[in-house]
């Protein structure tokens, strides 16, 4: 091998080793820069609300002797109903915030037949307290809660439903005569 070729080969190896060392040094500085950016930029973590929120006002509206339908109108559909405990409805609510501990609230409603007997469970927050806890200081208006009741003027925009007469109820409950339904055969004829 001529001398000039050896010098070029050595020069090539030196450049290759230098480029590899420079790349490794660049990677480590790039890694530290990406760590600094990642520490500044954090992903958005949402509040997770699950179940039925039941307010203190709703619990106070429950009275022994109410029907199941009346209880459902006040509290909403129960989260848990059991075939084995048909006389018990469970209302469970959880709120998970990234910066706070998991909050769980539970209310159990007991029936005797189709009549409300009693209710028991955790101390429920009022609607105002719950709305204030959802803000969590993000908007900077801590303590400022919107008005949660409609005014008489706002309610007048939505007229009350007209009560049905017994004749209308009977007409709705009467079975409608249905035309017989015909379906095509499952298999083609002649098979």
Q: State the pLDDT confidence band at 98, using cuts at 50, 70 and 90.
A: confident
Distance CA(91)–CA(120), nearest Å, equals: 11
DSSP at 64? T
pLDDT recorded at residue 142 = 54
88 pLDDT higher than 70: yes
What is the residue-averaged pLDDT of the chain?
78
pLDDT recorded at residue 109 = 93
Find out whether 119 and 59 touch, Cβ atoms under 8 Å: yes
**96 versus 181: which is more confidently predicted?**
96
Q: What is the pLDDT of residues 14-73, one digit of tens each?
A: 888 777 776 766 666 666 777 777 777 777 888 888 888 899 999 999 999 999 999 999
116 pLDDT higher than 60: yes
For the entire predicted model, the pTM comes to 0.52
Distance CA(86)–CA(166), nearest Å, equals: 31
Which residues touch 56 (CB under 8 Å, ≥6 apart)? Answer: 123, 124, 125, 126, 127
Per-residue tokens: 124? 């429920």
């Amino acid at each position: 091998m001529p001398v000039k070729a050896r010098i070029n080969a050595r020069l090539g190896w030196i450049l290759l080793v230098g480029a590899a060392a420079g790349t490794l040094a660049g990677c480590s500085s790039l890694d530290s820069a990406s760590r600094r950016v990642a520490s500044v930029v954090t992903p958005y973590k949402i509040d997770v609300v699950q179940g039925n929120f039941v307010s203190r006002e709703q619990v106070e509206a429950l009275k022994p002797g109410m029907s199941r339908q009346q209880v459902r109108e006040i509290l909403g559909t129960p989260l848990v109903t059991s075939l084995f405990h048909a006389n018990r409805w469970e209302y469970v609510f959880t709120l998970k915030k990234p910066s706070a501990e998991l909050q769980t609230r539970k209310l159990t409603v007991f029936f005797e037949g189709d009549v409300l007997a009693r209710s028991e469970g955790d101390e429920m927050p009022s609607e105002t307290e719950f709305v204030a806890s959802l803000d969590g200081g993000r908007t900077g208006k801590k303590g400022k809660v919107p008005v949660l009741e409609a005014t008489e003027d706002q309610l007048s925009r939505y007229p009350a439903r007209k009560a049905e007469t017994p004749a209308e109820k009977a007409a709705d409950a009467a079975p409608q005569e249905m035309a017989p339904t015909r379906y095509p055969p499952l298999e083609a004829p002649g098979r």
